[in-house]
Chain A
């Protein structure tokens, strides 16, 4: 019965819009199967978490009120008075954190399998831009509950922007909507978080997904070299999609588990005149940068240490984005290729700095 209606509907649409390309894509798209195929799922999980963010974010918008006198109160209202408000808020915060985590995993898995190489340069670049915007989402969203911790973290975070030469100060004032972190900053961050970022994000995400659909899944070196008959594939639809779905459900269950058993506290309302509470930390995904800046000496040669650090991260990020265009000489004698080695060093650096940030 249902199937009949479904196929009739598809026929109806097909007659008018010709679904052949879609059908072709669904029927012919194949996903290679090999010992590293688990990494193919990371992007999907990231996408799923983004959808969760989108959905819970829209829900929160129904009750959230930006503003110095109302932001904290409205979040308190959401988590105390609104039914399941605590759940929605906690899923939103947890999903944000997992989203960043999976985005990083996805990025490094792509890096180490060299999936960014020709012809997928643009997929990598759009992906990197998406990651930057994801971090911007996290940073702007962190302030919105207007609690003490967020207030001071934002203060410190925007202060760091201020050290960049020439454009730093104006940029800081622009971000803060004034000299200091005030209610004006809150309105600004709210606007950025719910309107500006989603708009830009959607564009790049669409491009990213279109590129992937157009080019199909990347086949790693060892798989490509296999004789044709030994190459194993599964169909994207329904086999891969079903596995994706299975993983998404599991991730979703973990998400609500975390929201329930390890919820985010609301804390005290931000007070611009209170002294900073101890243990102000950025969100964990900024920790490695924060910690490196802290460990740098005050002056390196004639430059300020912090300035040098910020410039370094800026340049390093930019180079990282352009990785597909960087060619390194292949060294047959080396067990690990130079670029892979660099990648390992970067991962190690991020992990060590993050850990140091929490134990120091």
Chain B
């Protein structure tokens, strides 16, 4: 009887101990694995393969906390600009007919280098650098 009690206690001790150790090591090892977004502050973002991106079109890329509009012009040039309108922070869009950047909120218009050319925007859009690395589009912050 006594032996059984000892065995039982030892078993409990083993289970509890292993469980306790696991519940310490699991979080610790999870912590050690680098998270998907490896940088606390985003300095560059991959924006897909250039071949899959049709000319004369655009898409909005999440650059950390900031939206960036990536435009591929008809002659396959890339442009990346901050997508927050300098007027009231609406997200701008690319008009593929007029080849301009347009903000739907108050009809603000920018040219493809981000200069504010019409409507209420007070400042040009901030520009980002676009590099093609092995066919992949990479947007980086200037400076």
Contact with A along B1-39 (1 / 0, CB 8 A): 000000000000000000010000001101111011101
Are A76 and B40 closer than 8 Å at their CB atoms? yes
Are B20 and A65 closer than 8 Å at their CB atoms? no
Chain A hits for B134, CB < 8 A = none
Q: In the assembly, what is the distance between CA of A198 and CA of B34, in Å? A: 26
- Say how far B14's CB is from chain A's closest CB, in angstroms: 11
**Which of B20, B33, B39, B40 has its CB near the most chain A CB atoms (within 10 A)?**
B40
Q: In the assembly, what is the distance between CA of A85 and CA of B36, in Å? A: 14
Name the residue on A nearest B20 (C-beta): A249
Are A88 and B40 closer than 8 Å at their CB atoms? no
Q: A50-75: which residues lie under 8 A (CB-CB) from chain B?
A: 59, 62-63, 65, 69-70, 73-74
A-B contact count (CB 8 A): 38
Interface membership of A84, Cβ < 8 A: yes
Contact of B33 among A65, A74, A83 (CB under 8 A): A83
Chain A residues bordering chain B, tally (CB within 8 A): 18
Are B32 and A62 closer than 8 Å at their CB atoms? yes
Q: In the assembly, what is the distance between CA of A81 and CA of B31, in Å? A: 10
Provided the pairs A83-B30, A84-B27 are in contact, do residues A69 and B35 lie with their beta carbons within 8 angstroms?
no
Q: B38-76: which residues lie under 8 A (CB-CB) from chain A?
A: 39-41
Interface membership of A320, Cβ < 8 A: no
Are B27 and A70 closer than 8 Å at their CB atoms? no
Chain B hits for A76, CB < 8 A = 40
Interface membership of A82, Cβ < 8 A: yes
Contact of A74 among B20, B36, B37, B40 (CB under 8 A): B40
Chain B hits for A81, CB < 8 A = 35-37, 40
Q: In the assembly, what is the distance between CA of A266 and CA of B110, in Å? A: 38
Chain B hits for A85, CB < 8 A = 31
Name the residue on A nearest B41 (C-beta): A73
Chain A hits for B40, CB < 8 A = 63, 65, 70, 73-74, 76-77, 81
Q: In the assembly, what is the distance between CA of A63 and CA of B38, in Å? A: 10
Chain A hits for B32, CB < 8 A = 59, 62
Contact of A87 among B27, B33, B35, B37 (CB under 8 A): B27
Contact with B along A106-130 (1 / 0, CB 8 A): 0000000000000000000000000
Are A84 and B41 closer than 8 Å at their CB atoms? no
Are A59 and B41 closer than 8 Å at their CB atoms? no
Contact of B31 among A69, A77, A83 (CB under 8 A): A83
Q: In the assembly, what is the distance between CA of A335 and CA of B28, in Å? A: 53
Chain A hits for B30, CB < 8 A = 83-84
Are B41 and A69 closer than 8 Å at their CB atoms? yes
Chain A hits for B36, CB < 8 A = 81
Q: In the assembly, what is the distance between CA of A249 and CA of B37, in Å? A: 34
Are B41 and A82 closer than 8 Å at their CB atoms? no
Q: List 16 A-B contacts (CB under 8 A).
A: A59-B28, A59-B32, A62-B32, A63-B40, A69-B41, A70-B41, A74-B40, A82-B31, A83-B27, A83-B31, A83-B35, A84-B31, A85-B31, A87-B27, A88-B31, A249-B20
